[in-house]
Amino acid sequence: MSEPIRVAIAEDNVLLREGLVRLLREADFEVVGAAGDPAGLLEITNRDRPDVVVLDIRMPPTHTDEGLRLAAAIRARPGPRIGVLLLSQYVEAAYAYQLIETEAAGVGYLLKDRLSDTEELSDAIRRVARGGSAMDPSLVAQLMRRRRERNPLSELTDREREVLGLMAEGRSNQAIAQRLVITLKTIETHVASIFSKLGLEPEPDDHRRVLAVLTYLRAR
Amino acid sequence: MTQTAGHRSRATLGAAVVALVALVAGTAFGAAGELQQLGYVDRPPAFVLGDFIGGWTFMAAGAIAWARRPDNRIGPLLLAIGFTWFVGTWGRFPNESVSHLARSFQGFYEPLLGVLVLAYPSGRIAGRLGRLVVVGWLVEHGAWTVARLTLERPLSWYGCATCPGTVDALIADRTLLQAIAPPSLALSVGLAIAVLLLAARRLIVAGPAGRRRLAPVALASLALGAGIVATGGLRLVIMPGLFGDPRVAALTYVVLTLAAVAVLAGLLQDRLARTAVADLVIDLRHDAATGDADPRRLRDALARALGDPSVELFPFDQEVNAYRDASGAIVPAPEAGPRRALTLVGTDAARVAAITHDPSLLDDPGLISAVTAAIRLEADNRQLAAEVERQLAELRASRARIVTATDAERRRVERDLHDGAQQRLVSLSMELGRLRATAGQSGDPAMVAALGGLSGELEAAIEELRELARGILPPILTDAGLGAAVESLALRAALPVDAEVDLPGRLPPAIESTLYFVIAEGLANVTRHAHASHASVRVAGRDGRVSVEIEDDGIGGAQADRGSGLQGLSDRVGALGGTIRIVSTPGRGTSLRADLPVPT
């Protein structure tokens, strides 16, 4: 096995922070540090250069959107990219779009509910570390439920919609194939069909694909 | 109101008719009398004309004054003076009985002029001495008249039916009459002088403002004085129609005419003063309406209304329980002085103001009471308005406090849920996940399945709690403001929604949440009732105001009061000093608009 992924954590709730550290260590991540506020995380980040930071959105001092701003600051740093995975009690599309405004590479945004599924969480961290994306399924579902004036999504088959949702969550064709238990070839056919029906240019990279799909879902 | 005006105009009309009839009759009486004077060497035409003009002016002035001021007795008094003035002119009437009566009753205008001098302008004589002198004079003149009636008889009474009426009438007891004449005359002149002295005292005491008002008294006094000199000689020789010095007679006519005109002008001016009271009320209302309560303006209005430039106003300040002067300084309670009268406005329990003014104004108690009533009314009005305004402000502040407090409470509950129950459940769910992973590794499928079931239940609980928290107050509103929260609402809406938020920054929390709930409720109503295919939300804030407008292209016909859930929101918006408005025409969509002030 290769080098373990180095993770730093910022979560102001002690119980949750300690639980998270334990969980990630058991899942074979190297937790380089855990802080209770943005300043602490920045200190750890500067010192230990983690691959991924996992952080809460509501943090001291104002307990509003500190995590969002901290994420933007960390992503704007020069040097090797640090993946950012935001955790929150609630997901808001407005926050998601704020996060991926320029690019979706190395960004994740998950409900804290996902902490109950260790494998799910580990997968998201690995994807973000690789420069991929991890968007919460509930967020994607909310976007796909949207009514719009003219809705090309209704032209998609049920299977295609399923594939579109998994693409929007940031999963690779490989992962989608595994999840749906169908061949990679079939997935590629579905993806091509979806892109053609929605009038989108095919994107080679997973993270650019996420951006394209989410941008499409946001439009009226 | 209308009825009062009707009564008033009927009363005025009645007085006007009576005055006109009296004037016509008096004019005929006077003219006929004066015409009989023509042709006598001692009565040149110029004198006759002057005599007529002097008397007639009094009658005319009296008629006008009576018609205009039916409440004032000066009008009838002037008419009576004019009428009695002409009585003497019938002293040469061919019928002896008539001329005898005329000769006996002539000269009554003198004591009546005395009444005028002391009773102008109110129509009442102030002071017992003045009343005593005037009544004494009338009695004296009455006695003299009776003496002439009985002691001086016409020739016809002695059998000469055809004898021409001459001044040399046979007088039965001429000797007795001649004996009575000097003391009677002395008494009459004495009383006249007493009246003139009292009038002079009135003029001296009156002060500058009062003297202006009493100018007609001075003229009438002169006329009286001249008349006394003229008729004094008349009585000494006991010859009716004979005037002493013609220059005195001429002066008497001129002064008498002027006096009549001056009395009338003064009375009408008094009427103007009453109009000035109306002006005062208007001034006060204007001050109240513009919030300009400068006591100096009020004083000036008061001075205009009372015609007294020396008026001083001291408003009573209930808070410090003392009077203030025009500059607002606290002063000791004003007192009446030798040349200053004091009028208090209000009651001892509720003082309003003190006014010091020229004592002569007390001659017209109607004017003073009208002015004080106006001030008191206005003071009461202002106090009531201030009280209502204060209560309203209190109520507004209290409503706003309730909304703000409710809002803060919602925020607290949401925050408590987030930091407490939600975090604990997530933490628990995470531990459960770890346990499940461990159980999976140790290969206990039953345990894994059981833990999976628990995990699902826990996730459902977390989801429910999240929705509950959102209903109390959406975290995104608190955390990121109205713009993000409205976008979130638009994304979640069951129909396509255009959202446009143009705000310079964050708004106060109570306003943010109020606007959020208006939009949420508005969109929910669009979904429930409007059958719309599209809706738009626009939020704009500038210059201390913020507005939100929710429009749809649905069926319209919405009403704010019918189960729309807007009543509560309307209360909430109103509590923050804002308004909410629905425009909904059937078939043309619905527009819901809320406007709120943003405190800086």
B427 to A63: CB separation less than 8 angstroms, yes or no = no
According to the model, what pLDDT value does residue B8 have?
Answer: 47
Tell me the residue range of the domain where B591 lies: 480-597
Query: What are the beta bridge partners of residue B356?
Result: B312, B342
According to the model, what pLDDT value does residue B566 have?
Answer: 77
Domain membership of residue B398 (yes or no) is no
Closest chain B C-alpha to A152 CA, distance in angstroms: 14
Contacts of B372 (CB under 8 A, 6+ apart): B343, B345, B355
Q: How far is CA A104 from its chain centroid?
A: 8
Domain boundary among B350, B366, B388: B388
Residue B478: C-alpha distances to residues B80, B407, B519 (Å): 91, 11, 16
- In three state form, how does the secondary structure of B182-250 look? HHHHHHHHHHHHHHHHHHHHHHHHHHHHHHHHCHHHHHHHHHHHHHHHHHHHHHHHCCCCCCCCHHHHH
Residue B581: C-alpha distances to residues A43, A178, B455 (Å): 53, 55, 48
What is the signed CA dihedral for B279, B281, B282, B284, rounded to 10 degrees? 120
According to the model, what pLDDT value does residue B335 have?
Answer: 87
Q: Is B122 found in the same domain as B94? A: yes
Residue B437: Cβ within 10 Å count: 18
Q: Is B331 found in the same domain as B264? A: no
Q: Residue B539 sits in a domain of what CATH number? A: 3.30.565.10
Q: Is B144 found in the same domain as B64? A: yes
Mean pLDDT of chain A: 90
Question: What is the distance between the alpha carbons of residues B209 and B204, in angstroms, rounded to a whole number?
Answer: 11
Task: Decide: B333 and B323 in contact? Cβ < 8 Å.
Answer: yes
Task: Decide: A82 and A105 in contact? Cβ < 8 Å.
Answer: no
- Residue A16 pLDDT grade (very low, low, confident, very high; cuts 50, 70, 90): very high
The beta-carbon neighbor of B427 closest among A15, A65, A118 is A15
Domain membership of residue B399 (yes or no) is no
Domain membership of residue B364 (yes or no) is yes
Q: Dump pLDDT digits (tens) for A51-70.
A: 999 999 999 998 888 999 99
Question: What is the distance between the alpha carbons of residues B368 and B276, in angstroms, rounded to a whole number?
Answer: 12
Which chain B residues are closer than 8 Å to A90 by Cβ?
466, 469-470, 475-476
Q: Is B127 found in the same domain as B137? A: yes
B433 to A58: CB separation less than 8 angstroms, yes or no = no
Q: Dump pLDDT digits (tens) for B554-585.
A: 998 877 665 657 788 888 999 999 999 998 88
Q: Which two tokens stand for residue A49?
A: 């250069």
Residue B110 host element (H or E)? helix B109-119
Q: Dump pLDDT digits (tens) for A106-130.
A: 999 999 999 999 899 999 999 999 9
Number of helices (H) and strands (E) in chain B: give both, helices first. 17, 10
According to the model, what pLDDT value does residue B3 have?
Answer: 36
pTM (2 decimals)? Answer: 0.63
Task: Give the closest residue to A206 by CA, choosing from A61, A105, A83.
Answer: A105
Domain membership of residue B441 (yes or no) is no
Q: Is B328 found in the same domain as B212? A: no
Tell me the average confidence (pLDDT) per consecutive run of 10 residues in chain B, 600 residues long. 43 83 93 85 80 90 86 87 90 82 86 88 80 92 87 59 48 70 83 88 75 77 71 48 59 81 80 68 68 69 75 85 85 85 85 84 76 82 88 92 93 91 93 88 88 92 92 91 92 89 92 94 90 93 93 85 73 91 89 92
| Side chain identity at residue B94, one-letter code | P
SS3 B48: helix
How many folded domains does chain B comprise?
Answer: 3
Domain membership of residue B423 (yes or no) is no
Q: Is B191 found in the same domain as B155? A: yes
Q: Is B139 found in the same domain as B66? A: yes
Residue B33 host element (H or E)? helix B2-37
The beta-carbon neighbor of A58 closest among B418, B433, B459 is B418
According to the model, what pLDDT value does residue B207 have?
Answer: 67
Which chain B residues are closer than 8 Å to A143 by Cβ?
491
Task: Give the closest residue to B357 by CA, choosing from B365, B349, B219, B297.
Answer: B365
Task: Give the closest residue to B138 by CA, choosing from B80, B72, B225, B62.
Answer: B80
| Side chain identity at residue B113, one-letter code | L
Q: Is B283 found in the same domain as B268? A: no
According to the model, what pLDDT value does residue B516 have?
Answer: 95
According to the model, what pLDDT value does residue A197 have?
Answer: 87
B73 phi, psi to nearest 5 deg: -80, -5
Domain boundary among B205, B240, B274: B274
A15 to B423: CB separation less than 8 angstroms, yes or no = yes
Q: Is B121 found in the same domain as B11? A: yes
Question: What is the distance between the alpha carbons of residues B38 and B54, in angstroms, rounded to a whole number?
Answer: 17
Domain membership of residue B232 (yes or no) is yes
Q: Is B91 found in the same domain as B188? A: yes
Which chain A residues are closer than 8 Å to B494 by Cβ?
147
Task: Decide: B573 and B594 in contact? Cβ < 8 Å.
Answer: yes
Domain membership of residue B538 (yes or no) is yes
SS3 B266: helix
B494 to A147: CB separation less than 8 angstroms, yes or no = yes
Contacts within 8 Å (CB) and 24+ apart, B549-552 = B549/B591, B549/B592, B549/B593, B550/B518, B550/B519, B550/B522, B550/B523, B550/B526, B550/B591, B550/B592, B550/B593, B551/B589, B551/B590, B551/B591, B551/B592, B552/B526, B552/B589, B552/B590
Q: Is B286 found in the same domain as B266? A: no
According to the model, what pLDDT value does residue B409 have?
Answer: 94
Task: Decide: B580 and B569 in contact? Cβ < 8 Å.
Answer: yes
Task: Give residues 463 to 522 of B whose Cβ lies within 8 Å of A.
Answer: 463, 466, 469-470, 475-476, 478-480, 484-485, 487-488, 491-496, 498
- Interstrand relation of B322-324 and B330-331 (parallel, antiparallel or unpaired): antiparallel
Domain membership of residue B285 (yes or no) is yes
Q: Which two tokens stand for residue B14?
A: 């009645």
Task: Give the closest residue to B314 by CA, choosing from B352, B358, B283, B284.
Answer: B352
Q: Residue B345 sits in a domain of what CATH number? A: 3.30.450
The beta-carbon neighbor of A19 closest among B430, B476, B487 is B430
Question: What is the distance between the alpha carbons of residues A144 and B381, in angstroms, rounded to a whole number?
Answer: 65
Domain boundary among B362, B388, B414: B388
Task: Decide: B100 and B154 in contact? Cβ < 8 Å.
Answer: yes
Outline where B243-292 has alpha helix (H). Answer: 246-290
The beta-carbon neighbor of B423 closest among A13, A90, A95 is A13
A147 to B422: CB separation less than 8 angstroms, yes or no = no
Outline where B357-444 has alpha helix (H). Answer: 365-417, 423-441
Could you tell me which chain B residue has the CA closest to the CA of A56? B423
According to the model, what pLDDT value does residue B165 have?
Answer: 47
Residue B285: Cβ within 10 Å count: 13
Q: Would you list the DSSP string of B438-491?
A: HHHHTT-HHHHHHHHHHHHHHHHHHHHHHHHHHHH--HHHHHH-HHHHHHHHHH
Chain A contact for B426 (CB, 8 A cutoff): yes
Q: Is B338 found in the same domain as B196? A: no
